[in-house]
Amino acid sequence: MRILGLDPGLAALGYGCIEIHNHTCQVCDFGVITTPAAAPVGDRLQSLYSDLHTLIPALQPDWVALECLFFYKMSHTILVAQARGVILLVLSQLHCPLMEFTPPQVKQALTGYGNAAKREVQQAVQRELHLSHLPQPDDAADALAIALTASRYCHNINR
């Protein structure tokens, strides 16, 4: 099974794809899709749309896991909401099954503590995926964490 985790953002959209074989997870790919801050918002959203339409078919996920909107500063939340709208549109167009998780759910699944620090989550991702170093950048690490959370959910429903 292949799961693509997405950490939504307009400046940097993190992605992390894992594959599960015999109850072990390994990384297929991870990184970020970035958009230039100086570009108009509409152009940045179009860029995300195009890049996702290339990325998702290339990775061929069985499931896509997306972080739910979490409130920060209002201006930041609106931009993330716009990026999430584009993500949801692309996933619908490509007929991708979707799971959504809140940040506390991801932290709980990986560390056992819903208020864990970012570094603790990154260390859990590193450990579970047998990586030699902490995954970077943060947005990609968060996407891998979301994918790992989804893998646990899939494991539980396939029992």
Tokens for 132? 């030699």
pLDDT tens sequence across 49-82: 999 999 999 999 999 999 987 655 555 678 888 9
Q: Which residue range forms the structural domain that includes residue 85? A: 2-157
pLDDT at residue 74, as a whole number: 56
d(CA 64, CA 17): 9
Q: Which of 100, 128, 139, 142 is catalytic?
A: 139
Q: Which of 62, 67, 138, 142 is catalytic?
A: 67
pLDDT at residue 155, as a whole number: 60
Residues 6+ apart with CB under 8 A from 79: 9, 10, 11, 41
Tell the residue number behind the tokens 């943060």, with chain if given: 138
pLDDT at residue 73, as a whole number: 52
CATH of the domain at 57: 3.30.420.10
d(CA 129, CA 151): 12
Q: Name the residue among 7, 4, 8, 6 with its Cα closest to residue 17.
A: 4
Q: Name the residue among 48, 159, 146 with its Cα closest to residue 105.
A: 146
29 is an active site residue: no
7 is an active site residue: yes
What is the mean pLDDT of the segment spanning 5-22? 95
Looking at the 3D structure of the chain, how many domains does it have?
1
Q: Which comes out higher in pLDDT, residue 75 or 14?
A: 14
Cα angle: 123, vertex 77, 97; to 5 degrees: 65
Q: Which of 7, 120, 138, 142 is catalytic?
A: 7
Residue 101's Cβ-side half-sphere holds a number of Cα atoms within 13 Å equal to 27
pLDDT at residue 159, as a whole number: 44
67 is an active site residue: yes
pLDDT at residue 76, as a whole number: 66
pLDDT tens sequence across 108-159: 999 999 889 999 999 999 999 999 999 999 999 999 999 999 998 876 555 4
Tokens for 11? 């400046």
pLDDT at residue 31, as a whole number: 97
Is it true that the peptide bond before 8 is cis, omega within 30 degrees of 0? Answer: no
